[in-house]
Amino acid sequence: MATVTALGGAAQAQTTPERTLRFGHLNNADHPVSFGVKRFAELLAAKSGGRMKVQEFPSSQLGNEMQQQSALQGGVQQMSAPATTSLAGIVKEFGLIDFPFSVASFAQADALLDGAFGQALLARLPEKGLVALGYWDLGFRNVTNSRRAITKPEDLDGLKLRVIPNPVFIETFKAFKANPVPMPFAELYGALESKAVDGQENPFAVIASNKFFEVQKHVSATNHVYAANIVLVSKKFWDQLTPAEQKWMHEAADESRGYQRQVSRAAAQKAVGELQAKGMQYNELSPAEQARMRAIAKPVTEKFAASYDPVLVKLYNDELAKVQK
């Protein structure tokens, strides 16, 4: 039976045109997002009998988050895998994923994003010119800086921190009395090196892959937000595909997701040791101090929740309560 299906797939592949998909992202070629792209490319090539090829453009080669998003919407780039955060500008409810201290484990994060809430967000994208094939792991975000260890909320007071150009992040760090500076990722290393900013916040694997240890002294496991990447396709491109091609892309995305998450989480663990070996001072926050940070951030999340679609906010709260059990 499997052979017949495989032959059917091969026959379908013969009738579809050859396509090359330009897949851009911000991360380096040694980062887990890049490993996800490579696995997706292998699976898609296999399913399409080699007729759908993926050409990867890592390290912001096709532009920053916003430039790549516009290129997808305009149909000049086929795919990208930005942090979900960058979508809050077109569907503001994506800001819900960035609510600080909402999930405490990878299992909770996966359940929230792969479940009804995450899917409801994806359903908002086609009208914005994007089709999403699911969520990949970026990891819990942590603060680095060149001035002091962050052991309690007060340690953030006055620190100039680069944040993602996203209102939830900006307001959260203002609540901690930091001085948040929104800036594209591609400009970050230079800003840290020149001391234009004191620090930044990103998952451990991003910190290691981008050699921030060369320009930062302290890395503090604040785990303040769980960050996901989102696999995006240009809707203009998607609409040109046959149902078979769309199916292969969905399947390749689903099958590469587990692998990418596994690689990403292993890399995060390994990165902590690497950062310490490169001379960074690492510290964790006590549960009590994390609870204090959560309390300080709560008015921020309540303010944003009040400005979002109440249907999605209710779904988010219901699903969050479910995954936290």
pLDDT tier, 9 (very low <50, low <70, confident <90, very high otherwise) = low
Q: State the pLDDT at residue 165.
A: 82
| Cα–Cα–Cα angle for 72, 316, 262, rounded to 5 degrees | 65
Q: In degrees rounded to 5, what are phi and psi of residue 89?
A: -70, -25
Distances (CA, A) of 216 to 196, 219, 221, 282: 13, 8, 14, 11
Over residues 206-254, the pLDDT tens digits come to 999 999 999 999 999 999 999 999 999 999 999 999 999 999 999 999 9
Domains delineated in the chain: 18-324 (3.40.190.170)
Over residues 274-312, the pLDDT tens digits come to 999 999 999 999 999 999 999 999 999 999 999 999 999
Q: Which residues share a beta bridge with 201?
A: 143
pLDDT tier, 7 (very low <50, low <70, confident <90, very high otherwise) = very low
Query: Which of helix, strand or coil describes residue 257?
Result: helix
Cα gap 277→112, rounded to integer Å: 34
Cβ 230 vs Cβ 81: under 8 Å: yes
Cα gap 250→166, rounded to integer Å: 29
Mean pLDDT of the chain: 94
